[in-house]
Structure 1
């Protein structure tokens, strides 16, 4: 049997259905984001781990110049090693007829017989290699699709200065190359970097590695201690030109994937609580006003014997029904959205399969958090129910004293018509309620400001990186460090207007217990084409013997200017250097470090050596420059800035950065829900008053003006407050989107605030139209009756 309080609950829900739906929408979106993001992160992480395990991705990579195969046995004796695989790898250049510049590639060997013990490949088209055919290759599937290559095509490549032609017999994927990035670059691009596999015998012959290897792959046991294994592996291969062993976490492709997943995880942790907090605030406003409007009914219920706990439980049930409904809808929508996003990221990350993983804790967390946040908003109000005695509650509340309110505006009243006076009196006589509405709409404004600022921040990151930091047209990288004579050779090419050399050295930075595997960029002190910039985006001088590090790296290593950083060089004689930090650079791409190229060469005892050069080109002679550089045997690769820019934009629009568009849509929905809820609350509170105005002769337009004028005034008052809140929210959201790969600045502009303000105003107009429609349809007889 349905109790009287339960019947009242159903009537109350129906009466405030507009507000309930608006609040439920906010809660649903918050839970949707939580379930979707949590499920997406778990799915990607599980899929990555399953892919790595199924195709036996190595845990440790050991690079050497050249070591005999017998060294593999010594590596296998290291404590904690379960499997060892030796292979040959090398750089190559691919020459495509429809591409002006040479494309960089990496050649990797596969065993002549059977599959490798580690780092196996997945054949996606064609067949596997025939070890008897030295000209057969497997080509990375992503590059083949980007360049429209297929099995049976012939691919021309330059290997160790010799041009050769290979037949593509199959396309393959590998967990080692989820992200394909040319050495020294930060931005992945399927079409600009290729990987091809050859039989071990054929590739060893090309790179003079018969009976030898230049990279060892190690698999570790679960109990293995990675730092000890890396130290022992370095000791084993030191005599053979070891270049430094590193773990899977520092493997290029895995680092990119991990950064993308970390960015999604940060969004999953930071964004949903904002929406749920907004929902709790809205519930607080709705329930507080509902309790105030039903003061006499509360007194009657208590007079008929209902306890304070029972009456409070009734209103708490109202809160829980709204919150539970929103949580259920949000969970269902979150599952659907998470599955769709997982399929999208499967193609983005090039996973051959997807392990869709929904953690039940996400549902429990989403449901629990929505209930708790909603209950907090309601419980703050329900304490008013406990203190109301029947005698006090059934008496009308003491009329407020308005003698002091608005006295300074009496003259202004003479210039206003009657509806305008009503609007102004309402705002002045009930400042607490108006402040709540202003705060709610300001929150919506802050969400809009935050998301538009992030959108602008992505554009700002692109502009600073490719217009202010990098002002070159192209860059050239050499196979190995060259003498400065190479600068003059490049400068002599027709069409090259300016050449700026650089030195790129692979290192491991250490500061206390913190470390980071990266590189030092040696630049000229008068750099024009590629510059280190300070926080004000002014060029930094590098004419000292110290090092300038990027702000993200300074944060990771917990180091400041004036302190000394340890640099473990991973090439050449591999010295361990101790260099003072002389400055912190502002960068939005990666975590680079800079030094004066002359000082860097002095530290390495390799004077006048360069790794490559940035070029400024004459737009009318670029094709001749490309052809000339193609014919240079010492060139490892050439990159056009326009190609890097396109790859960077694609990365931010299709990876974790694409989530900003989804969040922008969610923020817009939240903003509308907040504004609409404020309008519905105002209408519910004043429905009887508005009906009275209609009875005494006010027109529908005048009655609507009384309510909508209040909404307009509250909305205008909320805009400046929302702008201030949006300023701080923007910094938090931008930080959440930033990763080690790229940093998103919180860029503030009048346009951002203008767009956010217009979105709030449009939401107010739409909400006002919906409420006016209800005013026009209002049944005055029902509105003037008692609610119970």
Structure 2
């Protein structure tokens, strides 16, 4: 082994604490990059494989009722590869021991063959046998939520008729990665079921003999979606077509796509921050080492080593630390990714999900970490080239502090000698101090941003389910009902107040932007379900025009006063040109609001409702649910508290899990940065501190000089960390926000306070660890130092 390589190993052992801390910073950045990129790759590949293996449709075309012969005409559309017609409808499932009826979607299966499109994966049991009208497949997520298994019997009300079914199979489907009841935006496995029956049984139940009410289409490779959608709508219009849409607008797929989108945004933004911090720390460590080893560098060069060989020695040190951190990050990323893959498999009900990292992810992580280390070290290596043996072997010239400012007489009279020494050191090294301040502030900013987002999740829940939605129960109907249905609800047991509403499926367009959603009609003075502005004040529904949620307005790129095109997909299917009257600060979903009378006039269907919000006496819940189960027109009943719990569960899983991971990592990195700052400061001042001890300073006074600087750095870093955290919170919130929910941002005193306390605690622990090093300083070696 060459002499310089042996020196390298000794140097690494001497700075093992700092080297390990810097390697951990690098490791965290690489871990996040590998884990997230691997998770993105795994989710994308699993989705593609699952969709292809079970032939998930590219186009969904709901219709009121169309004859089977229309399937052949749909198949003749250019670009269409396959067509499948099916019957689907809503149902209410009566669960034993549960007062509230469970909403369900019922789908038909061909009796004598596998479906050409939207096949299902049978995880247990078998498909319903041909000719059997009482056998069903049940979605696994619902079965697991209620402990149901093969042979169990379910009672369901379909089209006003109550029937019993026996479970013969447990199924999973790429169409239902997330299970969300029609008209709701909160997925909940326990409150929504999916049942598959033989086609003949379902056609008889919904009076669809020889007809279908949903067409599924797959496209040829390279076929364009929009011309196919236009052709499908033209063919099904006369049969009550409700507007064909592509897979990207299918609700379950949108959930998964938004999750992948959020992971992508986070993976591209956060790891570089850690790499930048690592580069800065390496710069400080190597710079201090070169300054401390001037004489050694001079001797090495005097013995014949070239400038390149000496510089390469220090460059190896930098690269070794970076590579060690990168390798730890790669291994940690695979380990963490596998654990996260199991979590995502449960959340999205995937039959398989193998965590896979592309080799390019490892290469990228290692390359970026080494590149960051090179950036941090190369600027220092110029000092090595500049040192000649004669100059290096002499003590360095005293630093010129004439321009660094002086302590005023008033401060001198107020500060004791150790305090003045601390203040002078800070004033004379502004660049180094600023770097330390920036590093600590960056760590605090990451921590506070993550905690701010956590608080934002809770605020979104409170605002939606306490401020915006003040109802107790929401009732929806299978079809549009006359206003009399609201009066009937008002006479049910325990009902205190009824607020009717109407939801209409529609496509909203503005310029080139489109959004497939719905328009909600609200009564004048609505207060059980409100549209509110940013200050949570009611937005009165205008006599004409439309009110858009902020998320929807951002998607379409519209502002108040603009005109949007609304293509209604039901009833008379009018196309409306509506002025945007206001922007509502709705945090859940992306709704659009209108005055219910104005909406009904535009639809040409006055006095119609699709549901109602109810306030109910808590003591009368059981009687109310018992009676409403027998109302054939009711498609579903949602209790607000159940929706809130489901939403909280959703936020705490998936993206929610990632925000907890990020908060933990940010906290660890904050401690690493503070500890490194303390160690670097100790390394720079160890000789000076020992000299002060020789001159008569006590251990406490020497420790005060070192730790006082750290305290001052932390004190300056705290307000800067608040500013950085405030800015980062907007970026992080934007990454986690989806079409389903938006995370509110703002200054949250609790989040920034906790992050600040964490920094102070990290400083105290780091100070205690460094103080132990002060006690070990060799005073005799210091007296022998030639200066």
Same fold? TM cut 0.5: yes
Deviation for aligned residue 1:413: 4.2
Aligned to 1:342: 341
Post-superposition shift, 1:414?
A: 4.9
When residues 327 and 251 of structure 1 are mapped into structure 2, their CA distance, relative to the original with a 3 A threshold, is same
Aligned-residue offset at 1:94:
0.9
- Matching residue of 2:654: 655
Cα distance in 1 between the residues matched to 2:376 and 2:401: 29
Residue 674, structure 1, aligned to residue 673, structure 2: yes
- Measured after TM superposition, the shift of residue 738 of structure 1 is 1.2
Count matched residues. Answer: 787
The more displaced of 276-285 and 657-666 is 276-285
CA distance in 1, matches of 2:544, 2:554: 22
Q: Please show how residues 264-303 of structure 1 align to structure 2 within 5 Å.
A: 264-303=263-302
Deviates more, 1:43-52 or 1:411-420: 411-420
Distance 1:415 1:246, change over 3 A: closer
Residues 1:229 and 2:228 aligned together = yes
Q: CA deviation at 1:502?
A: 1.1
498-507 vs 93-102, greater mean Cα deviation: 93-102
2:139 alignment counterpart = 140
Q: Which runs of 5+ in 1 are unaligned?
A: none
Aligned mates of 1:78, 1:652 — CA distance in 2: 42
The aligned residue for residue 203 of structure 1 is 202
TM-score by length of 1: 0.96
| Cross-structure match for 2:478 | 479
Residues 46 and 357, structure 1, Cα contact 8 Å, conserved in 2: no
Structure 2 length-normalised TM: 0.96
**1:167 CA drift (Å):** 1.5
Q: What is residue 496 of structure 1 aligned with on the other side?
A: 495
Q: Which residue of 1 aligns with 2:127?
A: 128
The alpha-carbon deviation at position 50 of structure 1 amounts to 1.1
Q: Is the 8 A contact 1:154 1:167 kept in 2?
A: yes
Q: Distance in 1 between matches of 2:30 and 2:781?
A: 37
Deviation (angstroms), 1:310: 3.8
Residue aligned with 1:150, SS: coil
Inter-partner Cα distance in structure 2 for 1:70 and 1:596: 40
Q: Deviations over 1:35-87 (max 9, x none)?
A: 00000111111111111111111111111111111111111112222222111
Q: 1:52-91, aligned counterparts within 5 Å?
A: 52-91=51-90
Query: In the alignment, which residue of structure 2 is the partner of 1:723?
Result: 722
* 299-308 vs 281-290, which moves further: 299-308
**Partner SS, residue 214 of structure 1:** strand
Q: How far apart, CA to CA, are the structure 2 residues paired with 1:608 and 1:400?
A: 86
Work out the CA distance in 2 between the residues paired with 1:374 and 1:544.
63
Task: State the 1:415 CA deviation.
Answer: 5.3
Indicate the larger mover: 360-369 or 407-416.
407-416
Deviation at 1:476, TM superposition (A): 0.6
Confirm or deny: 8 A CA contact 1:682 1:707 kept in the other structure.
yes
- Are 2:572 and 2:604, in contact at CA under 8 Å, matched by a contact in 1? no
Deviation at 1:715, TM superposition (A): 1.3
In structure 2, relative to structure 1, the CA distance for the partners of 1:190 and 1:783 (3 Å cut) is farther
**Which 10-residue stretch deviates more, 34-43 or 353-362?**
353-362
CA contact (8 A) 1:482 1:611 kept: yes
**Which whole-Å deviations, capped at 9, do the CAs of 1:660-681 have from their partners, x for residues lacking one?**
1101110011001000000110
Report SS of the residue matched to 2:618. Answer: coil
Distance 1:270 1:205, change over 3 A: same
1:576-595 equivalences in 2 (<5 Å): 576-595=575-594
Q: How far off its partner does 1:10 sit?
A: 2.6
Tell me, what secondary structure is at the counterpart of 1:172? strand
Give the C-alpha shift of residue 727 in structure 1.
1.2
CA distance in 2, matches of 1:587, 1:308: 64
Deviates further, 676-685 or 374-383: 374-383
Shift of 1:430: 2.8
Greater shift, 214-223 or 674-683, is seen at: 214-223
Instruction: Give the superposition deviation at 1:777.
Output: 3.1
> Take 2:259 and 2:732, find their aligned partners in 1: how far apart are those partners?
16
**Which stretches in structure 2 are left out of the alignment for 5+ residues?**
none
Residue 270 of structure 1 contacts residue 736 of structure 1 at CA under 8 Å; is this kept in 2?
no
Taking a change above 3 Å as real, the CA distance of residues 7 and 304 of structure 1, as seen in their structure-2 partners, is same
Query: Contact 2:407–2:424 (CA<8 Å) still a contact in 1?
Result: no
Secondary structure of 1:621's partner? helix
Give 2:434's aligned residue.
435
Contact preservation (8 Å) 1:259, 1:741 = no
Q: Is the 8 A contact 1:688 1:784 kept in 2?
A: no
The corresponding residue for 2:544 is: 545
Note the alpha carbon deviations across 1:560-618, whole angstroms, 9 max, x for none: 22221111111112122211112222122121111111111111111111111111112
Distance across 2 between alignment mates of 1:268 and 1:58: 30
The farther-off stretch of 384-393 and 52-61 is 384-393
User: What is the CA-CA distance between 1:344 and the residue it aligns to?
Assistant: 1.4
RMSD of Structure 2 on Structure 1 (CA) = 2.1
Deviation (angstroms), 1:448 = 1.8
State the 1:307 CA deviation.
4.4
Of stretches 292-301 and 529-538 in structure 1, the one that deviates more from structure 2 is: 292-301
Partner Cα separation in structure 2 for residue 332 and residue 351 of structure 1: 25
Query: Partners of 2:216 and 2:372 in 1: how far apart?
Result: 50
Post-superposition CA distance 1:406-444 (Å, at most 9, x none): 754445445555444433332233333222222222222
Residues 442-485 of structure 1 show CA distances to partners (whole Å, capped at 9, x for unaligned) of 22221221111111111111111111111111111011111111
* Residue 451 (structure 2) aligns with: 452
Deviation (angstroms), 1:755: 0.4
Q: 1:639 aligns to what?
A: 638
Give 1:785 deviation, angstroms. 6.0
Corresponding residue of 1:170: 169
SS at match of 1:715: helix
TM-superposed deviation, 1:697? 4.0
For residue 596 of structure 2, what is the aligned residue in structure 1?
597
* 1:454 and 1:747 in contact (8 A); partners too: no
Partner of 1:32: 31
- Paired with 2:580 and 2:733, the residues of 1 have a C-alpha distance of 27
The structure-2 alpha-carbon separation of the partners of 1:785 and 1:463, relative to structure 1 and needing over 3 Å to count, comes to farther
